[in-house]
Chain A
């Protein structure tokens, strides 16, 4: 296991390297000139050139990349073009809100999907099954922003139960309750899409396990239905489902871009849009690197949980 982990971690390095090369060169193709976004119209051509040179943008792209990579190895992600702040700080302060949002959404989607999936698997082809299928496909099909806007309309504007957006009440004390209230809508919206697909997985995985011999044996022993389901079926059915969590991270991070935009959640998603609009390349590179890191970490986590929940699996 340990050797496997080390090997996996080593494999990630060239992948991350490839990601930085690719994103750096894609970005250098972008037509918008970052210098044009920074200067004011009154600046002379000479001043513009000085600014360009100060940012290192007068050099060819491979030189810039080598410099960036060298800084990265020393733990420096560069400085934001638009604010001049270190990228580690600008991106760093956005990581926690995004993780709060995506992790809550992930947990929530499992809390929704597992009970529904189990109930539906034991009552196949009844109206509950059809209803759950309908809502699962609805959840998959509805765009996040539609759900988000509808959620704001119903729960924030009409019913006034929940805040419209942000992470805390303006001028308020903050605190955990306040955060949870602000988190409720965006996390639910983000969770719904994942929950739809997840319900289908839990259902089919449960059905597969329920058809197996050891479940029949458990029933034949005279165990109660609840015990058979919980102790014998669910435990085995969850194995493939649990490992999906790590693989959902890319979709969640993507969904978070939209959700954060709608709910004014100060995470990496919002920063991505700001950075793209301002052609703030160092910030964009920082975001790409961190999200890619999270995604590869998610894949690794998926593999590890797999071996943890299923002792039959051994990585050599």
Chain B
């Protein structure tokens, strides 16, 4: 069961990734080109999924939007995994005051309801844009990862192979990089997978509120804002995001 689900998920994700990479080839039109002859057009041979309120091809926008969603997911998560792993490793390895200080910062950041602090931070950057969303998600997501890594490092630090590495004179960075982190990464990878799915949803939510990716750049979130309820069915590709789980 788990495996079959995983396969379905990987295939769906792979297809989305191909769609995103090959967007210029796959998309029948430019995502921002306006067809002045038809607004909110019904699906037709020229526009397979119809056109939006200003006459842009919905199918093409949908395909290009995959790029936006995937890059938000992947870039933001990569960013906070790197930050979180470093902070968590330092806190767990050195312990003491360093650990105490870093752990309190994590506590504080984890006490904010995520969406509210994200909204808040996006407004700090002034004009909302794709990059701001990525940076904000990347800068705010790390405490959860740091906490995971810290716990792992704390547990691993006492084990014989780590003691042995230290006994033969390996430097601190070498112990952390070569011996601790490779053994601590499994739960981080799981968290990163869920994190990617979550980041995509957060981007969509932000764009829906007008605080994320701005038109004319298509994103699944801002497309839904445009469409509101009148073209619900066109948005079914959403379902594939579930493959990430």
Q: Which residues of A contact B (CB under 8 A)?
A: 14-16, 18-19, 22-23, 26-27, 29-32, 125, 129-130, 133, 137-138, 140-146, 149-150, 152-153, 157, 249-251, 253-255, 257-258, 261, 272-273, 276, 279, 284, 287-288, 291-292, 295-296, 299
Contact = CB atoms under 8 A, between A and B. Distances in A.
A261 B209 contact: yes
A26 B229 CA distance: 36
Nearest to A21: B108
A276 B201 contact: no
Contacts of A142: 238-239, 242
Given A18-B108, A19-B108, A26-B121, A254 B235 contact: no
B181 interface: no
B238 A153 contact: no
B232 A149 contact: yes
Contact of A138 (B119, B124, B242): B242
B108 to A, nearest CB: 4
B229 A22 contact: no
B232 A153 contact: yes
B115 A257 contact: yes
On chain B, which size bracket covers the interface? 35 or more
Contact of A31 (B104, B121, B126, B238): B126
B124 A29 contact: yes
Contacts of A138: 239, 242
Contact of A295 (B113, B120, B123, B228): B113
A5 B69 CA distance: 43
B225 to A, nearest CB: 8
Contact of A254 (B107, B116, B244): B116
Q: At the interface, is chain A mostly helix, strand, loop or mixed?
A: helix
B120 A258 contact: no
B95 interface: no
B158 interface: no
Nearest to A23: B120
A296 B208 contact: no
B116 A288 contact: yes
Contacts of B224: 143, 145-146, 149
A288 B120 CA distance: 9
Interface string B104-120: 11011101111111011
Given A141-B245, A153-B229, A14 B204 contact: no
B114 A137 contact: no
B17 interface: no
B126 A32 contact: yes
Contact of A292 (B1, B111, B121, B235): B111
A145 B120 CA distance: 19
Contacts of B108: 15, 18-19, 22
Nearest to A197: B245
Contacts of B5: 133, 137
Contacts of A257: 115-116, 119, 205, 209
21 contacts: A15-B108, A19-B111, A26-B124, A27-B120, A129-B1, A133-B1, A141-B241, A141-B244, A142-B238, A142-B242, A146-B224, A150-B229, A152-B229, A153-B232, A251-B113, A254-B115, A257-B209, A258-B205, A273-B209, A279-B123, A292-B112
A287 B111 contact: no
B199 to A, nearest CB: 12
B119 A272 contact: yes
B221 interface: yes
Nearest to A130: B1
A146 B113 contact: no
Contact of A143 (B107, B126, B221): B221
A32 B116 CA distance: 18
B112 A273 contact: no
A19 B221 contact: no
A236 B25 CA distance: 55
Given A26-B120, A32-B123, A276-B123, 18 more contacts: A14-B104, A19-B111, A22-B108, A23-B112, A23-B120, A26-B121, A133-B1, A145-B208, A149-B232, A250-B113, A253-B113, A254-B114, A254-B115, A255-B115, A276-B119, A287-B116, A288-B116, A288-B117
B115 A30 contact: no
Contacts of A143: 201, 204-205, 208, 221, 224, 238
Given A251-B114, A258-B205, A141 B239 contact: yes
B197 interface: yes
A29 B244 CA distance: 35
Contacts of A152: 229
Contact of B114 (A16, A130, A145, A250): A250
A142 B208 CA distance: 14
